[in-house]
Each structure stands twice: as structure tokens, then as C-alpha cells.
Structure 1
Amino acid sequence: MVVKCSIFGCTNRKDHETDLEYYRLPAVVTNQGEECEKLSSERRRLWLANIGQNFENKNIQNVRVCSAHFVNGKKSYLHDKLSPDWAPTVNLGRKRHASETACDRYDRMLERKRRKS
């Protein structure tokens, strides 16, 4: 099976662009507590909203997003909700320019945390 990016208008494929990573749609974690389940379901909902396609007739297990759609080129960890890479935000097939300001805001927050400690 050829792995293709599910973002509308993205033509990246794993057999052509070997330098990119391809991430699955985040699963809802149900066995690590209520807070983790809530956080993972919110992240999955945001990913689906940002992808912006209707997956009713498709196998949702085959949804992939390439690293070209993340500000820093890779997805962030589940508990790093303030990161601009918590969900894909770049080149989503429609105009979105909030990713640059989100990245700047995240960098400032990390710098403040670093200075405090």
C-alpha cells in the first residue's frame, strides 16, 4: 500500500518524498486516566478538523499526515498542548497564517519557563 498524505491538495507520498515522516491520526487513549482520555480525544478532534475532509466512507485507520504540515516538521507530544505542532497547521489546502504566531508564542513561553528555573 502506498502511503499518501490525507491533507486536501497535498501530493506527498512516501515512495516519492523519502525525507518526510508520515503520522497516523492520533488515537484516543482510554487506559491512562480520564485526563489523558480527554486530552487525546480533543487532539484527535482537532486533527480531523484541520484535515477538513469527510472520512465517513474511508477507512480512518489509513489517514496519514506528512511532516510538511507541522511548523517544526514533526508532531509534538500529547501533553505538550501549547505547542503549535500539537495538530497540523501548515499548508492545509486553505489559507491559515496563525501557525507563525503560534510558534512565536510557544517559543516565548518556553523561554519564560527556562528563565524562571
Structure 2
Amino acid sequence: MAAGHNPHSLPRRRPRRAPATEIDRGDLVYGLSGILETVVYVVAIVAFLVWLFRVRANAEILSPGGHRRGQPWLIFGWVVPIINFWFPKQIVDDIWSASSRVPYSCSTPGGRPG
């Protein structure tokens, strides 16, 4: 401790109390921002799933038998525990390979062109 410094000798200040209107305004802004965040999150999820269904439909036209997972897994693959670690990637990989100009070969790691 520094010489001559006594922490108990410092003047004590009482914390300033915020007016109730300021607290209420802060709560309102916090609540509204949470609602806005949730709405944006839900809109993003819906937009992504609509996009995923559309690209999957296009991929099925381009490669009718080249998909490892059925259409229900486009949604269930994201929400089923444990499965959600690899099914979404497999679905997107199948879409990618169906829409690729270069056919994939199983001779390279991951079935991707060298």
C-alpha cells in the first residue's frame, strides 16, 4: 500500500438513484430491441429454409437420384440432436454436387474434384 494512503479516509459517496421514468424507458427500449431481434431471427430462418427448399428442388431436377437424405430432413436435420452435426452438411453437399458442372468422383477425398 502506498505510504500515507488510507482507503477508509476517502469520502464516501452515495450512489445516484436513477429516476423511475429513466428506468422504465430503459426497460422499454431493452424489451423492444429483444422483440425486434426475435422477429429478425425468425424472418432469417424462414428465408433460409425457403431458399434451401428451392435449391433442393432445383438439385432434384438436375440429379434425381443423387441425394442421400429425403426432403423432410431439410428441416429435421437442423433440429434433431446429434444428427444435426452432419445431416445438414450432407444435404448441402448433395445440392452442391447436383448443381456442379464437374461431376464428382469418389476417387478423391470427400468425393470432390482434385
TM-score, structure 2 normalization: 0.29
Instruction: Report which of the two has the higher share of strand.
Output: 1
Q: Which has the larger radius of gyration?
A: 2
Instruction: Report which of the two has the higher share of helix.
Output: 2
Greater RCO (CA < 8 Å, at least 6 residues apart): 1
